[in-house]
Chain A
Amino acid sequence: MKTSMSETILIERYLWGELLPLEKQNFKAHLLQSPRLRLKVYFQKKVHLLVKLYHRKKLKAELEVLHKELFSNPEKIQFRENIHHIFDKG
């Protein structure tokens, strides 16, 4: 019986394509037999997706700060006027 953490590490290596051919073969065989393992893999993949979405959200928050900076910094007046000019046309 594997410890919970060693199984988590194994799933991690599987998801990142880091298993050696024989390890992968064994892992896949185990997956077929174990609904519990399939569920763990499914949710571990979901964690990856959520971390990716979290990362994107954080990046967008950083870009928001940069945007505000560019639209308030006196040194960036040229850039700002250029952008406002585009929308004034409409």
Chain B
Amino acid sequence: MVAAPAKIKPNSSIETLYEAAFPNVARFVQKMGGNLEDAKDIFHDALVIFQERQTQPGFHLQQSPTAYLLGVAKHLWLRKHHRQRKLVPLTDAEKEISIPEDFFPSLHTQRLLQFLEKAGQKCLDLLRAFYYQKTPVKQLAQRLGYANEHSASVQKYKCLEKVRHSIQQKSLRYEDFHE
């Protein structure tokens, strides 16, 4: 069974940012001929990229978060709609924005992820908590029912090995047929 997505707390900073920044992105997408669904998809991608960038060392926001999100949204839109490039002037600050290279993974990688979500979701959740949610090991051990921090830490490496092994098997099999 797939767990329901975690709920973002009401009045959290992300909710405030959502309300402040979405109208600008919606106006841009509407102007370019898109609909509400297009605006939502692009805006969610932009928020994910913004959140990721903020955690990267050396990242300095050159503009307001709302302006940055609009800039990312423009880049994402232009990636899909190359022909409109001349219709979308970018400010100097927007020209500096880049979309992470791995943001649009290959079909093979997407399939690997789908496979892992079915076969190893527990490990994916554990590794996500370690790498991206920066959950302290002690808290993680309690949450996942491990006796102590050491057990949780060992489990992390076991998961890393398990996932690595299964994608290796899966990839080699894929390459047998496709390369």
Contact = CB atoms under 8 A, between A and B. Distances in A.
B148 interface: no
Task: Tell me if A's interface is mostly helix, strand, loop or mixed.
Answer: helix
A62 B5 contact: yes
Given A47-B160, A70-B19, A86 B116 contact: no
B113 A53 contact: yes
A62 B116 contact: no
A65 B7 CA distance: 7
A22 interface: no
B124 A51 contact: yes
A15 B33 CA distance: 43
Interface residues of A, number: 42
Contacts of A90: 30, 33
A5 B157 contact: yes
Interface residues of B, number: 48
B135 interface: no
A28 interface: no
Given A9-B157, A48-B131, A43 B167 contact: yes
B48 to A, nearest CB: 5
Given A56-B48, A63-B8, A66-B15, A86 B27 contact: yes
Contacts of A49: 102, 105, 109
Interface in B119-175: 124, 127-128, 131-132, 154, 157-158, 160-161, 163-164, 167-168, 171
